[in-house]
Amino acid sequence: MDMISQKNGIVAAGGDVMEHPPSGDKYGLIDNELGTAAHETVNDASPSPTSAKETLPLARDQRGEEEGTNKCYKKGDGLKMIVGSSLAFAVVVTTALIMQIYLGPPQVEPHGAVSSESKLCSVIGTDALKAGGSAVDAAIATMFCVGVVSSHHSGIGGGHFMVVHDHKTSVTNVIDARETAPMHANKSMFVTNPASAYKITPHHPSKIKYGWVDPVAGGNAVAVPGELRGMKMAHDKYGSLSWRDLVMPAVKVARGGFKVNKGLAHVLDHHMKLTDFEDSPELAKIFIRNGKFLQEGDIIKRPKLGDTLERIANEGIEPFYSGTIADDIIKKIQKTNGRMTKDDLKGYKAILKPPVKSIFNDYTIYTVPAPSSGPALLLILNIMKGYNLTMESMSEATTYGRLIEALKFGYGERLTLADPAMNDQIENITQDMISDARADAIRLKIDDTKTFQQSYYSQFNSKPSGGTSHISVVDTNEMFVSVTSSINYWFGSKLMTEGGIILNNEMADFSIPGQTSKFGMPPSPANEIAPGKRPLSSMVPTLVMHTEHKCGPRIAVGATNGTKIISGVVEVLLNYLVGQDSLSESIDRPRIHNQLFPDVTEYEKGFPQTAVTFLKGMGNTVQLAPEAINIVSAIAKVNDTIKAHVDYRSGGGNYSQY
C-alpha cells in the first residue's frame, strides 16, 4: 500500500518520518528509535514556530551506528537478530507470496524523502523515488517543478550548486553549475565614471551620466545560465529514470496551472513595484492583473514555459544551449543591449569537483568550494567549535556574542574567495580558511565584551542579495543530495523570453571597481568580472555524515535568501549537531544574523531578550528583523529513520520569504 507523508514541502516515501530525536543511549539503538514516535507520520497541517527558549542548545543528540553494513543494530544482539531476522524473513516471504497470489506482484515502497519549499514539487520528487529513481532523479524533477511554481527566484534561466553523497561508497561530489560571465564582459562594464561617488542607479544605461550602473536588471545583468548543464551532468552520472520522465511533471504543472503560494505573494507584495516589470510586458502579463500584483491563491498558468520544457523533455538540453531556445534567449538579452552571444551558451560547461570538508566534533561537514561560500561556512563552524560548547555554556549570553563575532569574521573572510579557475591562489586561501589554525587565530581576536568596526573583520566590502531555492533528498540506496538553485535577485534580470524563461541577474554578484564603503574598503578585486568567470556565491548546500558510524546522523541541509543563507545553515547545524533539538526545533527556533555589510545584527521575534540586551551592550546595532531572516530545509536519517522538515518561515507559518 502506498503511503506518502507530507508536511509543507516534505514528502517521504516509505520508511518513517520522525520529528523528534530518539531517546536512549549515545548512538541510540534501533529498538529505542523505532518506538511510537518513529512510526508517527506528519499531516498536512502547517507547522508553527517553535517556542523561543532562553538558550541556543548545543549538545549532542542521541544517534545510531552501523555494524559493517547499511543496517544498524545493537552490539551484543547478534544471536537475537539472527533468530529474529529468520522468523521475520519467513513471515515476510509467506505474506508476500499470499499477496502475490491475490493482489498480483508485491510492491515495495522506496525509503526516502524530498524536502523543498513546495509540497506539490516534493510529491513530484517522491513520485520519482517510488518509480525507482535515485535521489538525483528526485532532485532534478523537483527542481524543474520549483522553477515553474517559484520562478521568482529559481529556474532554468539560472544556475545551482549540488552536493551528492553516495553513502554505499562514501564518495561525495559537487556539481558546479554556477553561471558565468559572457566572453564580451569586462570588469569596467558597469563603471561609467570611476571618479564620481557611488550611487545605486536605475538599470537604464541612457539615464546614467556618472557613477556605476547597478547590474540588477536588463541584458547586461544576465550571466550564462548553468542550471540545465548541471542537471544533465548529474543525471548522466547518477540518474536511473529517463530524462523525459523527470521533466514532464513540470510541463503538466506549467500548463495545468498552480496557485500563488505565500512565498511568491510575499515577494510581490513586499519586494516588488509595478514599475519593476515596465521593460518586461511578458512578466507583467503573468504576475499583474487589473493593475495589481497577484495574491495568494490566485491561479497562474505558464503554457509557453510548458512548451519550452516539453522540448527539453523530448530533445534534451541542446536546444537551450545551441538551438532555437538559445536564439530566443539571445534575442531577449541583446534587445536590451546585453553582451551575451550564442557562442557563450554553446561554450558553457558544468564542473564536477570534490567538496570542501571539515571535522566538527563527531561529524564530517561536506559543502561546496569556491566560488561558493562553503569555506566561510566551515570557518564559522570551526570558530564556534573551539569554544567547546555545552548545554550549560549555551545558557550564557556570551555565546550569542561569540556567534555574531564568528559570523562577522566568516562573512568578511568570504570576500577573499572567487572563481578558482581564474585565480590560482584561491585553493591556498580555501585551505587556510577551513583550517583549525585559522579558526584558532580568529578566536583570539574575538573580545567577549565589545564588537568592532567593519574594517576589523575584512579589508573588502560587499553588498546583500536575496532569492534562491533549496532542495534536500535521500533515497532508498542511501544517496543524499543537497542542491541550492537561484536566478539571484527576485525575478532575476526582470527579463523573460518568449518561451517563458526568466533570466538571471548573476552579474550583480561580481565586484564593481570603485564601490568603496564608508570606511574606505574597496570591493574584492578577486571577484571582479572577467570573461567566462563564475561570480562569488552565498549558496552553501551541505551534507553532514557521522565520522565513525555510517548509520549515525546523515543530513542534507541548505537555506535560501541570498547572503543570509550562511548564518541560517550555521545556526541549524549548531542546534542539531551539538544541541538536543529535534530537526524541526533546530530549524524553527528564532534566529539571529549579521553579515558585516551592513553591520546590523537582526533577530527574529521570540529570540531571547537577555541575548539582545547583551549584544547591544557589546556595541552591536541590534534590530528586530522585519521578516524571516532566511529559510532552511533539511532531511536527516538516523539508522533507518527519516527526519525531515521545511522551515515554517517558508509559508506554513506567520510569514514567508524565498
Helices then strands, counting H and E runs in the chain, come out as 19, 24
* Alpha-carbon distances of 561 from 121, 158, 159, 471, 552, rounded to whole Å: 19, 15, 15, 14, 30
570-573-170-132 Cα dihedral, nearest 10 degrees: -110
User: What one-character DSSP code corresponds to residue 151?
Assistant: T
Alpha helices for 336-465 (secondary structure H): 342-347, 374-385, 397-413, 426-433, 436-445
| H-run or E-run covering 592 | strand 592-593
Which single residue is written with the C-alpha cell 538599470? 203
The CA distance from 328 to 503, in Å, is 11
- Phi-psi region for residue 235, left (φ > 0), alpha (ψ -120 to 50) or beta? alpha
Q: Which of 400, 355, 358, 369 is nearest to 534 (CA)?
A: 369
Alpha helices in 497-608 (DSSP H): 565-573, 583-588
CA-nearest of 139, 157, 138 to 148 is 157
Q: Is 220 helix (H, G, I), strand (E, B) or coil?
A: helix
CA distance linking residue 553 with residue 61, whole number of Å: 9
CB 569, CB 409: distance < 8 Å: no
Q: Which has the closest alpha carbon to 511: 476, 487, 483, 536?
A: 536
The Cβ-side half-sphere exposure at 416, using a 13 Å CA radius, reads: 21
Distances (CA, A) of 4 to 11, 96, 107, 119: 6, 21, 14, 11
Per DSSP, which regions of 231-334 are E strands?
A: 258-259, 288-289, 292-293, 299-300
Is 641 a catalytic site residue? Answer: no
Coil, strand or helix: which one is 454?
helix
Beta-strand pair 542-546/258-259? unpaired
Residues whose CB falls within 8 Å of the CB of residue 34, separated by 6 or more in sequence, listed in order: 16, 639, 640, 641
Burial (CB < 10 A; 0-12, 13-18, 19+), residue 556, is: buried
Catalytic residue among 468, 497, 542, 563: 468
| H/E stretch holding 93 | helix 78-103
Cell of 371: 566560488
At 532 the three-state DSSP class reads coil
Buried b (16+ CB within 10 A) or exposed e, 566-576: bbbbbbbbbbb
Apex CA 55: angle with CA 53 and CA 60, to 5°?
A: 110
Cα-based angle 444, 448, 454 (whole degrees, multiple of 5): 75
Q: Are 413 and 458 in contact (CB under 8 A)?
A: yes
Q: How far apart are the first and last CA of the chain?
A: 35
User: For the CA atoms of 416, 421, 423, 426, what is the dihedral angle to 10 degrees?
Assistant: 40
The three-point CA angle 28-31-33 to 5° equals 50
- Catalytic center residues: 468
